[in-house]
Amino acid sequence: MNEVERFYENPNVAHYDLTPHPAGGTHLRVAFENGWGVSVIRHQYSYGGREGLFEIGILNEDGHIEYDNPVNGDGVIGWLTAQDVVAYMNVIASLSKREKAVEQSSEDV
């Protein structure tokens, strides 16, 4: 099993998508049952990619990076080993269920 397979073989993963990254390397997106997800990349421009390390982005229920998250409050974490990625995935998968925000217009108030 290679490093990337190790990520989506995680028992907490509800869905995954593995594609080539436009900058080279691969891009893995995983979604968890709780509504959170993770984007895992490694290429020459990612944080730590030139050193063979990974970068993750914490995703919301729409698959976009969530900068306001309970894990790091930034959304992107770089310079991670494969073990670090698995550890972060386990933390994110154990977060409380992510409920999709309902936006109200001023007309609804």
Residue 14 in domain: yes
41 CB-contact burial (10 Å; exposed 0-12 / middle 13-18 / buried 19+): buried
**In the numeric block, which tokens belong to residue 75?**
């959304």
Residue 109 in domain: no
Q: For 32-71, write each residue's pLDDT tens digit.
A: 999 999 999 999 999 999 999 999 999 999 999 999 888 9
Residue 74 in domain: yes
Mean pLDDT calculated for residue range 9-30: 86
Residue 108 in domain: no
Question: What's the confidence (pLDDT) of residue 106?
Answer: 41
| Domain extent for 71 | 3-93
Question: What's the confidence (pLDDT) of residue 11?
Answer: 79
Residue 102 in domain: no
Residue 39 in domain: yes
Q: What is the CATH number of the domain that holds 10?
A: 3.10.450
Domain total of the chain: 1
